[in-house]
Amino acid sequence: MTQKPTGWNDPVVDIAARTVTIVSPVTFGEDIEGEDGETTTVETSGTVVLTGYSSDGVAASASLFVSVTSTVDLEGPANCYLVNKPAKNYRFDVRHTGNGASTIEPASLAVVWQSKSGLIEYLRLTDDGKASFYIDADEDDDTRIAQGNALIGAYDASDNLLWSWHVWAADYDPEAADGTVVFNGQEMMTRNLGALDNDNSTTDRILASYGTYYQWGRKEPFIGPNTYSAGSGSSATMYNGSGGRVTLETVAASAETGTAAYAL
């Protein structure tokens, strides 16, 4: 073992059973003294790195993320889910599309795009047909969620996209006392869909307030611009689930492509 979270037990490796067991601390947030005499804080999550050697001396390593966290079940069928709790595991049903009237049987899930590399972590399809994924806390404030937008896709066994869902991670709760406004008698959110802010005091905050873009006839969001002066910029950077860059492709308008059926 070359790395583990502070305060966690050393992993127990059973080569015959091909298992690795690591026990978490009972309490977290306490300061402990390490072997080097330095004081550190017991961590709720982290990465375990194991290094082994083959019979001919070739080294190989593997990493395992471990965490003590709770799971938030996102109830009801929807095309977009707002998540706002940091360092949580989230789940939603991927066997139903749109309003839930139609059903699908996905063979796999993948991040189509995300606005921040590593925003959606440990995405998997559970045995009961749920998308399960983890979103960490903000790097500078562990009381806030790491903000961003992502599109999760469900695929069949031939890798054809069946449906997709927008995950909107924001430090925003529309159920809070100041989470909505009333306009012309209608209650509305205080920000655009996909927005990570609702302020115009700086250019960075203006940019974060734009939210996601939409093409007519489509439920899928597109990432916003890379500058607050949207007319003179291009799309912001997008990433796939492995951290690689994702780019938009355009097609010429025609009788076939200029339809809602093609867009969907």
| Spans of all domains in the chain | 12-67, 71-169
Residues 42 and 117: their CA atoms lie apart, in Å, by 26
Confidence of residue 264 (pLDDT cuts 50, 70, 90): low
Q: What is the mean pLDDT of the chain?
A: 90
- Does the domain at 71-169 match CATH 2.60.40? Answer given as yes
| Structure tokens that stand for 256 in this block | 């076939």
Tens of pLDDT, residue by residue over 68-83, are 889 999 999 999 999 9
| Structure tokens that stand for 124 in this block | 């998997």
Give residue 149's pLDDT.
Answer: 99
- Determine the average pLDDT of the residues in 88-114: 95
Q: How far is CA 263 from CA 77, 165, 250, in A?
A: 21, 15, 12
Query: Which is it for strands 80-83 and 161-169: parallel, antiparallel or unpaired?
Result: parallel
Tens of pLDDT, residue by residue over 17-60, are 988 888 888 777 677 766 667 777 888 888 899 888 888 889 88
Give residue 262's pLDDT.
Answer: 76
- Determine the average pLDDT of the residues in 6-15: 86
Tens of pLDDT, residue by residue over 135-178, are 999 999 989 999 999 999 999 999 999 999 999 999 999 999 99
- Determine the average pLDDT of the residues in 109-128: 97
Element containing residue 263 per DSSP (H, E): helix 260-263
Confidence of residue 15 (pLDDT cuts 50, 70, 90): confident
The 10 Å Cβ neighbour count of residue 74 is 16
DSSP-derived secondary structure for 56-105: T--EEEEEEEEE---EEE--S--SEEEE--SSEEEEEE-SEETTTTEE--
